[in-house]
Chains A and B, each alone.
Chain A
Amino acid sequence: MKLTRWLKSWEFSLAVMLVVEVLVLGAINPAFLKVEDLLYSTNDFMHIIFAALAMTLTIITGGIDISSTSVMGLTSIVIGLGWVAGMNIVAAVALAIVVGTLAGLFNGLFVAYTDIHPLVITLGTLFMFGGIAAGLPGVLDFLGFKAYGAAGFSAYMYEGITGFPQSFGDFTQNSIMGLPIPLILIFLFALFLALLLHRTRFGRYLYLIGVNQEAAEYTGVPVKKALILAYTLSGLGAAIAGVMLTSYFTSARSDLGSKDLLPIITAVVLGGTDIMGGSGTIVGTLIAGIFIGYLRQGLLALGVTSDVVPVVTGFLLVVVVAAKLLVARFNEERLNRQALKSRQEEALGGLGKEVS
Chain B
Amino acid sequence: MNRLLRNRELLVFLLLVVMVIGVGLVSPHFLSPRSLRNVANSSLILILVSVGEMFVVLTRGLDVSVGATMGLSAVVLGLALNAGVALPIAILLALIVGVLAGAVNSVGVAIFRVPPIIMTLGTLGMYRGTMRILTGGSWIETIPANIKHLAKLTFLEIHMFVWVTLAVILLAVLVLKKFKPARYFYLVGDNEEGALFLGIPIQRTVFVAYILAGFFSAMAAVVFVAQVGFVPMQTGNGQELKALAALVIGGVSLTGGVGTPVSAFIGALFLKTVDSMLIFLKVPGYWSNAVGGIILLVAVYFDYRLREAVNLRQLLSRRKVRMEHIKKVRSAVEANRNGHTHEES
Contact = CB atoms under 8 A, between A and B. Distances in A.
A322 B296 contact: no
A120 B254 contact: yes
Nearest to A64: B117
B286 A138 contact: yes
Given A318-B108, A326-B112, A128 B294 contact: yes
A117 B254 contact: yes
A338 B305 CA distance: 51
Interface string B114-128: 110111011111101
The range of chain B's interface size is 35 or more
A117 B132 CA distance: 33
B191 interface: no
B115 A314 contact: no
Interface stretch (B77-85, B147-155, B240-248, B325-333): B240-248
B301 interface: yes
Contacts of B17: none
A315 B114 CA distance: 12
Contacts of A266: 121-122
B207 to A, nearest CB: 16
Residue among A125, A127, A313, A325 with the most chain B CB within 10 A? A127
B7 to A, nearest CB: 20
B117 A275 contact: yes
B291 A315 contact: no
A307 B72 CA distance: 13
Contacts of B248: 120
Contact of A314 (B112, B129, B294): B129
Interface in B263-301: 284, 286-294, 296-297, 300-301
A311 B290 contact: no
Nearest to B283: A135
Nearest to B245: A123
Contacts of A110: 297, 301
A186 interface: no
Contact of A124 (B62, B132, B296): B296
B255 A314 contact: no
Contacts of B133: 305, 307-308, 311
Contact of A131 (B118, B121, B241, B292): B292
A127 B115 contact: no
5 contacts: A114-B304, A124-B300, A128-B297, A308-B129, A311-B126
Interface of B: 62, 108, 112-115, 117-119, 121-126, 128-130, 132-133, 137, 241, 244-245, 248, 254-255, 284, 286-294, 296-297, 300-301, 303-304
List 4 tightest A-B contacts by C-beta distance, closest first: A131-B290, A127-B293, A314-B125, A128-B293
Interface of A: 64, 110, 114-117, 119-121, 123-132, 134-135, 138, 261-262, 265-266, 269, 275-276, 305, 307-318, 321-322, 325-326
